């Protein structure tokens, strides 16, 4: 903005505290607080809400359902589509409502990270639509989006061979650390967003920017896999809780009858 | 939404209608009763102000971002206020991605009119350098779940987000025109609290705060936004049915009674942050 | 525009003259001069031209006709579509040719004000298209557009249960007055655009902005209805004239044969 | 317009063509005769200049708006002129809403070339502060009824609108660069009056000012715009047929005779407002 | 650009040298150096590369092929489509990647200059797609594009009644001269882009801007036709070369078998 | 590209796959062998820098244009670098005109990340007046023929175009903020040469630099971009298959060996213009 000076708090000089922990008190392999909720929306076939650090993300799934226009349909499998969108107020400077190039790319890689887990050949000519809305962004949105979208897919009853769980690993002041926060992401030396199919232990998303030696990169992947496995525990727990709740509700309804 | 009413079976319509003649609604509410309203104040820390409103099964999030920019050339002594709505596909299988459609634009513009015409935000107080630099307020409403009556849910969310907003204080150097954004925060200058009330007209009967099932069979929709003085600051008839003078009288009467509790709720919710009653 | 100062005539201090009449000499319940013409275009199935004050508006109707693409068609009734567009030169500052949000909203409310008068169930799967072009705008364009569009619908022979007629009512210096001019609209305290099906006496458009007490609002509606009824007289007269002209022409043609 | 010629029956084409071999046209005009031209000068008071032209069954309205803005970086000492056309769906069931298509862009650009290359508007005289502020002229043509030959109708409308335009005088403070828009009006600096003549080529025969029925069966279209000196300032062949050197000769000969009466009409129509012959 | 002053070489005072030749040493009726290549791309059905002066142009043709969406198809003939696009870096100031109005118009006139040469009635309901990419622009791009596109059509085996060849003629310092270069185009008094079906000797493209007396215009056309005929020689030679090469390759392959 | 893999016959896939289990490829290359790389340096004289790269049957042209403009507000002390890609319909019957699709955006952004994260261009040195005027570099890649592996062809073309670019020197008047563009040229400040290597994973087997036939049947794609220090500056998995830690190990090992010869080629090609090794 022309002629407008921003006086902002200087970022602290180091991303580590004197006791060696990260600014928010975490160790190198520690995740930010994560909260998950499933079935948060009425209209979508499946939905989930994930808070990961200050990320606040809603994911919704429709399908498998009929595809319009029909000529887009695939003869042998379901078409998986994904839209990743950030709310205008989700970031420091207001974002234009129109999707930018980053949102287009992330829609693609999120879709490609989810599709390997879906039994797409069960639904030829159908579509499975995944929508991700970032209400607040705080570093690692694409990874938390994948965690949320996988929950929404499960909530929609889409048959899957595995869940998918996302987490980023980065490098701050020369050290590999999992799950960078916003400030770590901005001041750090690199970021590796990844996603895992946890029971198969295969990677479905892997990107990187910044500067990593091959050794750092491999170390990062191993730490990332471990972090993803922790998040997967939470995913599984929340789904079990959800199923038992649904089962209870059904049981109660039957009793009432 | 074209074709939506067509797919709703005539049976559904008859069911709703036959209840209404007995003064009953499908969800057992009174004709002029709002559904449950739940509000979360400031859920989005990165927005200057924000609110999530759950109205029955409808859920919206409003966020306010405030920037510095030039005023409109025809209002050099006023800040800029812009309302925008997004009917995300998350909220309904009938919403599609893409540039805003008629329904989205109407929602945004009716919410905008309620705020603007009630002078909810005192735009004169948002001027930093007359004719050159003013505060620019963006109010963006995201609909997350659609169960009817987006208007009232959005209007409440927008009002709460504006009232809860904290914007950085600025210092203006009048010689150089330079603006320094300080670390200290201040509230937005709020002069009024508009409250909208939306009615569906179904087979001649008016009901307040229609749910989706009612909206699908409604002939006409009426949204009336009132100020805290009880005046009418915005009115919008929608839908392809007609309304009568009697309908307008009814709406005015109901609003007299039903708007104030909503306004009280908004005041109560933002009392703490604003430090005032 | 940066560094450009506009020296414009100061708007007069009051919107009323010393004799109590409005600046253009009208009383509170008096309409601006209105001129209507029907069948002004060759290609459209029906058309009308309306001058209302300095508003200059052309409306055209096509249909009932087949709808493309077909999947938009409604199984039980005609789809009514409406586009309201302002010419770039119709307003003080040049307007961008691309439709803005105001034009999108007005297209919707104009359509919703006309459809109640049309026997849409006579034409399942068809479309009736209404186009309104504002050549010059002068306060109350949407209302005058409805008046013009209803004439064009009648001219196209679209079966209607009633005409539709539009007029705005506003508040200037605390007084309710019909049919605000541009300057009254800008400096006044409020504006209520409305449309009426005159023989049924039901309202098909009702909007409002500004500040009205409930009493003022009701008074405004009553004055608006009376004003609409006056315009309706003109609408009816011009249609009768048009029909008799057409009848004469047909008769002449038959004589010639 | 794709497919339009296909739907026109071969019978229609044969009918028109069989008349043409006898030197006759479906509306009884001579081969090189314009239809009736009716012009209304300045129908749009809010435009700086405007004109409505009815050419046979074709009706267009042109409006001129003049603003102040920066020049193009490669022409710092010239004002800016922009022509735009809108083929509104009002004018024809074959015109659709949306961003301008090929046909619309071609129309706008051919009209633009006629005005620009004839130096109709003396752009050098529109400079206020060289390299910084110039007058920006928008010429917008709206087609309201389409019965063939949009080119000539639009060119006449644009010319009359420019010649009839009255723009506010401005005062430039060369020290501060401030521009004051005065209440007094002045004419635009006009140096030439371009006149275009459009021909359809049907089965080898050229006809001037084709009506829609002729356009639908034409093989090629030729538009030639001439200056008041009789020079050629724009030429545009359209359509998927071919033309010959002889066709060009014919066009040049016909224009020699037919352009001047149109130019006289334009002069006559704007004589009063411009206070000159 | 605000506050940015460009110090560029002053354009020379005259477009003619002392010896009466043009700045690049050409006579009035002389063409710039032209280089043509056919079959330069693997994926297109036909392709060509043309350098004409500093113009560098790639043309590609697909078809006749099936048309999607089908409702655009013509019942009695092939639909010819054309897209003319300029690379962002093809001109002095970077061009936006989105097509501008000039590109839209040129796409139309190039298409209309090619279609007369194609036997479109042989392929009802099909489409023939012509794509032209300007890699570098140097005056007369549309004409060189037509030359290239005609070669690509021939290379694709699209049945044609004639080739098409393009060349511009202009006026510099009062003299009619063929094939203006960039600087001549900018400083000259007029430009006439034209295209010819050379064996039929009919014109398929003819545009003009600038200021020409009728005599100059006719002289220009005659010079243009002569210039086109020279380029046609090159077109024919390159196609013969291409065919014999293809024939040789086929022969070699057969020998190998 | 939706549906592309579906139309490729299962037979093609089986053929490629059955060769791969024997360590063979359909074009007889080794699993980790690049196709022939041909580079033309500076083919586009009007671009500040340019390069045409032919990689097997894939052909791309990259052009660099450099302008002067404001920096991004969050990086006032850095020049601006923008990568853009165009998948022109010329290059493949599967590419369509229109705004950039997912595939195009991904290509542009991966090339961009390689250049940006390797600090190939020293953006700090592109600042003219901090916070106000910087050089703006546009790198535009046009794909002309598509036979697989657009990533590596584009990355090479972009690198060569940047290294070969010559931009006019400028003089900054620090008092007035005026910038004078001189006639003298200088090179862009280049700090690193990123090289990307793209692999297709087909039935569990990784191959370097896939051709189109291989891409059509690949399960996943891996692009890894390395710096001249041997570090990883960009990584991108694509496609709807999965990859393993072992795949990543393999990729890292292959890149160690295969990236340097490409980097040497780029150095060699631009040695003359840059006057350095």
Decide: F and D in contact? Rule: 3+ Cβ pairs under 8 Å: no
Residue-level pLDDT at A109: 98
Q: Which pLDDT belongs to residue B5?
A: 47
Asked if residue F43 has a cis previous peptide bond (ω within 30° of 0), the answer is: no
Mean pLDDT of the region A77-93:
97
Residues of chain B whose beta carbon is less than 8 angstroms from a beta carbon of chain A are 43-47, 50, 57, 59, 61, 63-65, 67-69, 84, 86, 88-93, 97, 99, 133, 138, 140, 142, 144-147, 176-183
Angle CA B212–B213–B218, to nearest 5: 90
User: Is C97's CB within 8 Å of D69's CB?
Assistant: no
Domain extent for B177:
11-274
- Test C135 with D61 for CB contact under 8 angstroms: yes
Q: Which of D240, D251, D257, D258 to mutate to test the interface with E (most CBs of E within 10 A)?
A: D240
pLDDT band at B11 (very low <50, low <70, confident <90, very high): confident
As a whole number of angstroms, the distance between CA E53 and CA A1 comes to 45
Q: Alpha helix locations (H) across chain B?
A: 4-7, 10-20, 102-117, 150-164, 212-217, 245-274
The ipTM (two decimal places) reads: 0.94
Which of E1, E2, E4, E45 best tests the F interface by mutation, with the highest count of F CBs <10 A? Answer: E4
Q: How far is C191 from F14, CA to CA, in rounded Å?
A: 72
What does residue E128 show for φ and ψ, rounded to 5 degrees? -120, 115
Q: Which residue has the tokens 């030439």?
A: D192
**Angular region, A83: left φ>0, alpha ψ -120 to 50, beta rest:** beta
Residue E7 pLDDT greater than 90, yes or no: no
Sign of CA dihedral B249, B251, B257, B259: negative
Cα(F157)–Cα(F193) distance, integer angstroms: 12
Distance from CA of C29 to the nearest CA of D (A): 26
Domain for residue D2, yes or no? no
Residue E28 has pLDDT above 90, yes or no: yes
Pairing between strand F58-69 and F133-145?
antiparallel
Rounded distance, CA D267 to CA E233, Å? Answer: 50
pLDDT level of residue A11 (50, 70, 90 thresholds): low
B212 CA: distance to closest CA in chain C (Å)? 20
Domain-embedded: residue B83: yes
* Burial B130-151, CB ≥16 within 10 A → b, else e: eebbbbbbbbbbbbbbbbbbbb
Torsion angle, alpha carbons of A249, A250, A251, A252, to 10: 50
Q: Which of A11, A94, A155, A182 to mutate to test the interface with B (most CBs of B within 10 A)?
A: A94
What was the pLDDT predicted at C92?
93
Q: Test C43 with D46 for CB contact under 8 angstroms.
A: no
**Best mutation site among D98, D118, D130, D242 for testing chain E: the one with the most E CBs within 10 Å?**
D242
Alpha carbons B91 and A85: distance in angstroms, whole number: 14
Distance from CA of D114 to the nearest CA of E (A): 8
Mean per-residue pLDDT over chain F, rounded: 94
pLDDT for res E110: 98
Instruction: Confirm whether D166 is domain-assigned.
Output: yes
Residue D3 inside a domain? The answer is no
Whether the CA torsion F15, F16, F17, F23 is positive or negative: it is: positive
Residue at token pair 């490609």: A112
From residue E33, how far is each of B121, E179, E228, E237, F40 by CA, in Å?
68, 10, 14, 16, 20
Q: Do D256 and E214 touch (CB under 8 A)?
A: yes
Give the phi and the psi of residue F235 in degrees, each rounded to 5.
-145, 140
Q: What is the reported pLDDT for F178?
A: 84
Provide the domain count of chain F.
1
Contacts of C207 in chain B (CB under 8 A): 235-237
Reported as type and span, the H/E element at residue F174 is none
B–C interface: beta-carbon pairs under 8 A: 110
Residue E1 pLDDT class (50, 70, 90 cuts): very low
Structure tokens at B170: 């600025």
Instruction: Encode pLDDT of B161-207 as tens digits.
Output: 999 999 999 998 878 878 888 989 999 999 999 999 999 999 999 99
Q: Is residue C58 a contact partner of residue D61, using CB atoms and an 8 Å limit?
A: no
Average pLDDT over residues F179-191: 93
Establish whether the linkage from the previous residue to F153 is cis, with ω within 30° of 0.
no
Q: Is F93 left (phi over 0), alpha (psi -120 to 50) or beta?
A: alpha
Which chain F residues are closer than 8 Å to E61 by Cβ? Answer: none
pTM of structure: 0.94
Indicate yes or no: CB of D63 within 8 angstroms of CB of C56: no
Contact yes or no for F179 and E4 at CB 8 A: yes
Please give the pLDDT value at position E10: 52
Rounded to 5 degrees, what angle do the CA atoms D205, D206, D210 make?
A: 120
Sheet architecture: strand order including E175-178: D205-208, D195-202, D220-226, D232-238, E202-212, E190-197, E165-172, E175-178
Q: Which of F101, F106, F232 sits opposite A214 (nearest CB)?
A: F232
Looking at residue F55, what is its pLDDT?
98
Output the pLDDT for position F1.
36
pLDDT at A253: 72
User: pLDDT for E157-179, tens place per residue?
Assistant: 999 999 999 999 999 999 999 99
| Average of per-residue pLDDT across E109-124 | 97
Taking the C-alpha atoms of residue F112 and residue F84, their distance in angstroms, rounded to an integer, is: 8
E222-237: pLDDT as tens digits: 999 999 999 999 999 9
C-alpha distance from A138 to closest chain B C-alpha (Å): 9
Q: In C28-42, which positions are buried (b, 16+ CB within 10 angstroms) versus exposed (e)?
A: beebbebebbbbbbb
On the question of pLDDT at C1 being above 70, the answer is: no
Burial D103-118 (b: 16+ CB within 10 A, else e): bbbbbbbbbbbbbbbb
Among C114-123, D224-233, E11-20, F197-206, where is mean pLDDT lowest?
E11-20
pLDDT greater than 60 at residue A8: no
Average pLDDT (C226-235) is: 98
**Closest Cβ–Cβ partner in A5, A8, A62 for B178:** A5
Q: What is the pLDDT of residue F11?
A: 85
**Residues B70-127 pLDDT 10s:** 999 889 999 999 999 999 999 999 999 999 999 999 999 999 999 999 999 999 999 9
Torsion region of B269: left, alpha or beta (phi above 0 gives left; psi -120 to 50 gives alpha): alpha
* Cβ contact E208–D235 (<8 Å): yes
Q: Alpha-carbon distance D118 to D112, whole Å?
A: 10
**Distance between CA E173 and CA E15 in Å, rounded?**
7
Task: Say yes or no for a CB contact (<8 Å) between B145 and A131.
Answer: no
- pLDDT score of A257 more than 80: no
Q: How do beta strands D220-226 and D195-202 pair?
A: antiparallel
Alpha carbons D246 and D232: distance in angstroms, whole number: 17
Question: Are F46 and E83 within 8 A, CB to CB?
Answer: no
C59, pLDDT greater than 80 = yes
User: Which chain D residues touch E if contact means CB-CB below 8 Å?
Assistant: 2-3, 6, 73-74, 100-103, 105-106, 108-109, 113, 116-118, 222, 227, 230-245, 248-249, 252, 256
- The CATH number of the domain where D51 resides is what? 3.30.230.70
Residue D270 falls within a domain, yes or no? yes
Domains and CATH numbers, chain C: 34-252 (3.30.230.70)
Q: Give ∠ CA E130-E131-E132 in degrees, rounded to 5.
A: 125
For residues D71, D76, D77, D82, the Cα torsion angle rounded to the nearest 10 degrees is -30
C5–D142: do the CB atoms touch at under 8 Å?
no
* Nearest beta carbon to residue A107 from set F3, F102, F222: F102
**Cβ of B180 and A5 within 8 Å?**
yes
Instruction: Tell me the three state secondary structure of residue B127.
Output: strand
pLDDT tens column, A228-253: 999 999 999 999 999 888 788 777 77
Query: Do the Cβ atoms of F252 and A116 come within 8 Å?
Result: no
Contacts 24+ apart (CB under 8 A), F171-178: F172/F128, F172/F129, F172/F133, F174/F129, F176/E3, F177/E3, F177/F129, F177/F132, F177/F133, F178/E3, F178/E4, F178/E5
Contact between chains at E211 and D232 (C-beta distance less than 8 A)? yes
Contact C43 D92 (CB under 8 A): yes
Residue F233 in any domain: the answer is yes
Mean pLDDT over B133-154 rounds to 98
The answer to whether the Cβ–Cβ distance between D241 and E211 falls below 8 Å is: no
User: DSSP state, F243?
Assistant: B
**Which among C41, C91, C98 is the nearest to D145, CB-wise?**
C41
Query: F179 vs E9: CB contact, 8 Å cut-off?
Result: no
Question: How does D209-240 read in b/e, with b if 16+ C-beta sit within 10 Å?
Answer: bbbbbbbbbbbbbbbbbbbbeebbbbbbbbbb
> What is the average per-residue pLDDT within B56-68?
97
pLDDT in tens, F50-96: 999 999 999 999 999 999 999 998 899 999 999 999 999 999 999 99
Q: For residue B98, what is the nearest residue in chain A, using CA coordinates? A: A98
Give contacts of D235 with chain E, Cβ < 8 Å: 192, 206-208, 217
Query: Closest to E88 (Cβ–Cβ): which among F138, F176, F180?
Result: F138
Sheet containing E34-38: order of strands: E34-38, E46-52, E55-66, E126-136, E79-86
Of D230, D240, D244, the CB nearest to E116: D240
Which chain F residues touch E if contact means CB-CB below 8 Å?
A: 43-47, 50, 57, 59, 61, 63-65, 67-69, 84, 86, 88-93, 97, 99, 133, 138, 140, 142, 144-147, 176-183
pLDDT tier, D7 (very low <50, low <70, confident <90, very high otherwise)? low
Pairing relationship of beta strands F178-187 and E4-6 according to DSSP bridges: parallel
Q: What is the 3-state secondary structure (H, E, C) of chain A?
A: CCCEEECCCCCCCCCECCCCCECCCCCCCCCCCEEEEECCCCCCCEEEEEEECCEEEEEEEEEEEECCCHHHCCCCCCEEEEEEEECCCCCCCCCCCCCCHHHHHHHHHHHHHHHHHECHHHCCCEEEEEEEEEEECCCCHHHHHHHHHHHHHHHCCCCECCCCEEEEEEEECCEEEECCCHHHHHHCCEEEEEEEECCCCEEEEEEEEEEECHHHHHHHHHHHHHHHHHHHHHHHHHHHHHHHHHHHHHHHHHHHC
Touch between chain F and chain B: 3 or more Cβ pairs under 8 Å: no
Q: How high is the pLDDT of residue E59?
A: 98
Q: Is residue B1 part of a domain?
A: no
The conformational region for residue E46 under phi > 0 = left, psi -120 to 50 = alpha, else beta, is: beta
> For residues C223 and C229, what is the distance between their CA atoms, to the nearest angstrom?
10
Q: What's the pLDDT band for F276 if we cut at 50, 70, 90?
A: low
Q: Which residues of chain D neighbour C91 with C-beta distances below 8 Å? A: 46
Question: Are residues E127 and E67 in contact, defined by beta-carbon separation less than 8 angstroms?
Answer: yes
- How would you write F23-69 as a 3-class SS string? CCCCCCCCCCCCCCEEEEECCCCCCCEEEEEEECCEEEEEEEEEEEE
φ, ψ of residue E81 in degrees (nearest 5): -120, 150
D232 to E214: CB separation less than 8 angstroms, yes or no: yes
B and C: touch, per 3+ CB pairs < 8 A?
Answer: yes
- SS3 for E79? strand
Residue B6 lies inside a defined structural domain of this protein: no
């Amino acid at each position: 903005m022309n002629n407008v000076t921003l006086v902002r708090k200087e970022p602290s000089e180091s991303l580590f505290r004197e006791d060696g922990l990260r600014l928010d008190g975490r160790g190198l392999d520690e995740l930010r607080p994560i909260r998950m909720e499933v079935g948060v929306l009425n209209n979508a076939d499946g939905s989930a809400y994930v808070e990961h650090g200050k990320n606040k993300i809603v994911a919704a799934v429709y399908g498998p359902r009929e595809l319009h226009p029909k000529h887009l349909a695939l003869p042998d499998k379901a078409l998986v589509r994904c839209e990743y969108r950030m709310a205008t107020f989700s970031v420091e400077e207001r974002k234009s409502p129109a999707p930018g190039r980053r949102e287009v790319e992330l829609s693609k890689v999120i879709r490609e990270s989810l599709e390997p887990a879906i039994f797409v050949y069960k639904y030829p000519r159908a579509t499975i639509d995944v929508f991700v809305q970032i209400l607040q962004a705080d570093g690692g949105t694409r990874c938390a989006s994948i965690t949320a979208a996988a929950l929404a897919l499960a909530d929609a009853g889409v048959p899957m061979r595995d869940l998918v769980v996302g987490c980023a690993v980065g490098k701050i002041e020369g050290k590999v650390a999992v799950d960078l926060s916003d400030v770590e992401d901005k001041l750090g030396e690199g970021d590796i967003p990844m996603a895992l199919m946890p029971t198969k232990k295969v990677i479905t998303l892997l990107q990187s920017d910044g500067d990593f030696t091959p050794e750092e990169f491999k170390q990062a992947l191993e730490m990332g896999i471990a972090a993803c496995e922790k998040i997967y525990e939470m995913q599984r727990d929340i789904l079990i809780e959800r199923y038992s709740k649904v089962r209870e509700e059904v049981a109660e309804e039957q009793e009432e009858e | 939404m074209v074709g939506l009413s067509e797919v709703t079976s005539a049976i559904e319509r008859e069911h709703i209608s036959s209840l209404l003649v007995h003064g009953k609604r499908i969800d057992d509410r009174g004709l002029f009763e709002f559904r449950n309203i739940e509000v979360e104040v400031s859920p989005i820390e990165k927005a200057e102000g924000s609110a999530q409103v759950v109205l029955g099964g409808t859920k919206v999030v409003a966020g306010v971002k405030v920037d510095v920019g030039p005023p409109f050339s025809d209002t050099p002594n006023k800040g800029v206020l812009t309302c925008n709505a997004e009917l995300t596909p998350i909220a309904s299988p009938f919403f599609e991605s893409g540039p805003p459609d008629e329904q989205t634009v109407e929602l945004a513009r009716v919410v905008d009119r309620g705020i603007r015409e009630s002078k909810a935000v005192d735009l004169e107080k948002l001027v930093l350098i007359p004719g050159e630099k003013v505060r620019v307020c963006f109010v963006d409403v995201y609909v997350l779940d659609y169960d009817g009556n987006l208007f009232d849910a959005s209007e409440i969310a927008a009002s709460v987000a504006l009232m809860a907003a904290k914007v950085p204080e600025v210092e203006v150097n009048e010689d150089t025109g330079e603006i320094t954004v300080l670390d200290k925060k201040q509230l937005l200058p709020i002069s009024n609290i508009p409250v909208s009330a939306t009615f569906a007209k179904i087979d001649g009967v008016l009901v307040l705060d229609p749910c989706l099932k009612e909206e699908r069979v409604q002939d006409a929709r009426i949204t009336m936004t009132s100020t805290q003085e009880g005046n009418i600051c915005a009115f919008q008839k929608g839908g392809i049915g007609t309304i009568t003078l009697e309908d307008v009288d009814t709406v005015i009467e109901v609003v007299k009674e039903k708007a104030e509790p909503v306004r009280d709720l908004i005041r109560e919710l933002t009392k703490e942050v604003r430090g005032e009653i």
